[in-house]
Structure 1
Amino acid sequence: MIDLNKFNDIYLQLEAAILEKKYLPGELLPSENELSKQFQASRETIRKALALLLENGYIQKQQGKGSIVLDVNRFVFPVAGLTSFKELQESQKMPSQTIVTKNQTGPISKPLMERLHLPKETQVISLERVRKIQGEAVILDYDFLLADVISDIPNEVAEDSIYDYIENDLGLTISYAQKEITVEPVTKQDKELLDLNGDSHVVVVRSDVYMQDTTLFQYTESRHRMDKFRFVEFARRKQV
């Protein structure tokens, strides 16, 4: 029988050891037998703790070798989901700060008008935000929200979570997004606003975001320093 408190306690101790660099990326954790003796627990309990480490991206199981420690300095960025930065920050315990560098309403630009197939009289809220993680500016976000759907985004909201504001304050339902991910050369603004550490390229995620009734309300371009994130998606092979 598995002791639920025991395996969770073992998981937390192993997680702390990985985060504290007692086990380095690429190294093997002790074997199940060794961990069983170390923690005075059954192998079934150890397997459950290792399964949690696997699910949370700390290790990779390799047949014939064991549990290999992964590089956890990169935060996980889910490709398939529609998750706010605040939700990512809270779920992964990122020590972060958001700085709003632009928040204004005006006519849509011609490139954006053509991309989104909108009339030239469309008004948009233009947001520019720098995301700092562990004191380094590693994400530059550009958000354009249609003003006839979202009339105003206060600065304090932009510093916190616009999705929380839209859903819980305005009572609207955000449904889905079409995403595009590319690797592109850094721009002049990237160099000015991000701590690039000499990087010549950034990962760019562009999203067209829709309400439940299929109304387009947001276009976002999120520019990420390459060494800080892992872009992941769960994929299942279709049986034919």
Structure 2
Amino acid sequence: MQKYIYISNDIRNKILAGTYSANEQLPFEKDLCVQYEASKMTVKKALDILVSEGLIIKRRGSGTFVKDLSIDEIERITVANQFRGTTALNPGKEVKSKVLAFSVIEAPAVVINKLNLSPGSFVYDIYRARYIDGQPHVMEKTYMPIDQIPGLKKANIEGSIYGYIEDELGLRIQSAHRQISVRKANETEVEYLDLQPGDPVAVAEQIAYFDTGIAFEYSISVHRYDEFSVEMILTRD
């Protein structure tokens, strides 16, 4: 992950978590350079991303401040942040993946239906366990059309797939439809998530879309019950 992306992810997460509150001034760029051990240009690029997202505002001669966001703006940014992936949501932490399966297969019927593919289409079939600072968090079964995500390699699977898609392919992930359910862990999940037989897991079934409206991912993520939470903002018209 490029350094300016890492910095923007970290500051964004701190704003959404309330570490930096509305109208609060962020540290000066020179101080952020020291904090993140980055050049002035790198910090500027990170802040420019947050300005473009509507999270912060630069006031000439005064500094950079967190915007006083409306409920609609908070909802938009919070939802968008959920689709940045595990690596982006955990800056400063070591995120690793153990690849259990990685191959190209003819898309199963359920995947054809979920991703609106033509019969006979081929997809990546990915199964991996993900760890944060050495602790197991989630197992992911993922299908992606090979013509939408060209050149995906095992090294990308071991790191951040979303990082590869956005940083290297230059594609923009826009949204996802997600359904959450709960069940008991199976034997494989007990092993890789370090659970006890009979422990519950949270299951997130997701279809993700590019900003073009094209579906590029169908995944089923199984999370440890004690490491999973869902943040929602409910509004009334």
TM range (shorter): 0.5 to 0.7
* Other-structure match for 1:97: 96
* Other-structure match for 1:112: 111
Cα distance change, pair 213–117 in 1 and its aligned pair in 2 (3 A) = closer
- Contact 2:181 / 2:202 at 8 angstroms: preserved in 1? yes
How far apart are residue 198 of structure 1 and its match? Answer: 4.2
Tell me the distance in 2 between the aligned counterparts of 1:131 and 1:193: 9
How far apart are residue 120 of structure 1 and its match? Answer: 2.7
Amino acid in the other structure paired with 2:169: L
Q: Deviations over 1:170-225 (max 9, x none)?
A: 12222111111111222233133221144532101111111111111111111100
* Other-structure match for 1:183: 182
Tell whether 2:215 aligns with 1:238.
no
Query: Superposition pairs for residues 187-226 of structure 1, below 5 Å?
Result: 187-226=186-225
* Other-structure match for 2:87: 86
How far apart are residue 134 of structure 1 and its match? Answer: 3.9
Identity percentage over the alignment?
A: 25
Q: Secondary structure at the match of 2:165?
A: helix
Q: Secondary structure at the match of 1:124?
A: strand
* Other-structure match for 1:168: 167
Q: Please, which runs of 5 or more residues in structure 1 have no aligned partner?
A: 1-51, 57-77
How many residues are aligned here? Answer: 165
Cα distance change, pair 119–224 in 1 and its aligned pair in 2 (3 A) = same
- Contact 2:96 / 2:132 at 8 angstroms: preserved in 1? yes
* Other-structure match for 1:14: none
Tell me the distance in 2 between the aligned counterparts of 1:171 and 1:89: 22
Cα distance change, pair 79–131 in 1 and its aligned pair in 2 (3 A) = farther
With structure 1 as the length reference, what TM-score do the two structures score? 0.61
- Contact 2:202 / 2:228 at 8 angstroms: preserved in 1? no
Tell me the distance in 1 between the aligned counterparts of 2:178 and 2:172: 19
Tell me the distance in 1 between the aligned counterparts of 2:111 and 2:171: 24
* Other-structure match for 2:137: 138
- Contact 2:122 / 2:146 at 8 angstroms: preserved in 1? yes
Q: Secondary structure at the match of 1:228?
A: coil
* Other-structure match for 1:55: 18
How far apart are residue 151 of structure 1 and its match? Answer: 2.3
Q: Deviations over 1:1-30 (max 9, x none)?
A: xxxxxxxxxxxxxxxxxxxxxxxxxxxxxx
